[in-house]
Structure 1
Amino acid sequence: MNRKRKQNKNRTTHARTIDHFNIYIRIFHDGKVTNEFLFYVIQKEKRKAMSADNVAKFMKRYQKLTREQCNKVPEGLHPHMFRHFRAMHLSRGGMPLPLLSKWLGHAQLDTTKSYAYTDTQMKQKAIKKATNSLNPLSRNQKVTSWQNDDELIKRLYGLL
């Protein structure tokens, strides 16, 4: 992993992302990292910055082509979905919300909550975990001495 700063925030980059970046630089920038636009379009024989709308347009075009080959590619694909999908994947994997918030570089925890909604799959997994035979609460346990002692239970609850 590699750490990079963006708007005074640390960002973590995975090795595969760095590999893809290096391939992109080799193909589109002759292997050199310069101050030129990283993603660009050529207009009137000049490189110009690629707009966010243009990125979305490319994604829409290639989303349609790839959907013909693989129907798992979601419809309405847009650039921010990659960030959202990764955040959801990490949330489902059990990453705590405060850590996910830091990973995303959010200043406020509330910003992250939109990524971490509980879906049906997560609910089913939690129910299965809670009712699993390995869960000590669901095992057939021996009745302890205090469980049949109403007077002791009342004292423990402060009722006597």
Structure 2
Amino acid sequence: MERFIQQYADKAREFCPDIPLHVYPHMLRRTRATNLYQNGVELALVSRILGHAFLDTTRVYAKPSLAMMREAMDSLEAPKTRDEKPLWVGSEEEMAKLCGLR
């Protein structure tokens, strides 16, 4: 199975060079679980989908996205006024690097 997935990843890399050199089945499982969590699926449900007996096993996949972190921080701040300008008007990826998140 691993060799089969690696062959497809090698072919796909021609069109998407961001695909890692080494791709394996658990990487796909881990990525899907993280994406489910980051898209709002409750961790308990992700745990059931993965077949984990304990929620703590699933917490490894619970990495918040930048949007999740921003939403959490915004929920603590006072509402913005209409004429307030954003402090950052750049790339989310660049901001993540500056904050040491990437």
Superposed pair shares fold, TM > 0.5: yes
**Counterpart position of 2:57:** 111
Residue 71 of structure 1 deviates from its aligned partner by 1.7
Residue 77 of structure 1 deviates from its aligned partner by 0.9
- Larger proportion of strand: 1
Which one has more relative contact order, counting CA pairs under 8 Å at least 6 apart? 2
Residue 115 of structure 1 deviates from its aligned partner by 1.0
Question: Which of these two proteins has the greater Rg computed from alpha carbons?
Answer: 1
In structure 2, do the counterparts of structure 1 residues 106 and 56 end up closer, same or farther at CA, with 3 Å as the change threshold? same
Residue 110 of structure 1 deviates from its aligned partner by 0.8
Q: Distance in 1 between matches of 2:23 and 2:68?
A: 23
Number of residues of Structure 1 aligned to a counterpart in Structure 2: 81
Q: Tell me how large the CA RMSD over aligned residues is.
A: 2.5
What percentage of residue pairs aligned between the two structures are identical?
A: 36
Q: Distance in 2 between matches of 1:68 and 1:125?
A: 36
**Counterpart position of 1:130:** 75
Q: Distance in 2 between matches of 1:110 and 1:65?
A: 36
SS at match of 2:22: coil
Residue 112 of structure 1 deviates from its aligned partner by 0.3
Amino acid at match of 1:68: E
Listed one character per residue, the Cα deviations across residues 101-140 of structure 1 (whole Å, up to 9, x for unaligned) are: 112211101110111123545323433x427xxx8x4257
Q: Please, which runs of 5 or more residues in structure 2 have no aligned partner? A: 82-102
Q: Distance in 2 between matches of 1:77 and 1:125?
A: 32
Listed one character per residue, the Cα deviations across residues 62-88 of structure 1 (whole Å, up to 9, x for unaligned) are: 212210121233332101122212111
**Counterpart position of 1:47:** none
Q: Please, which runs of 5 or more residues in structure 1 have no aligned partner? A: 1-54, 141-160
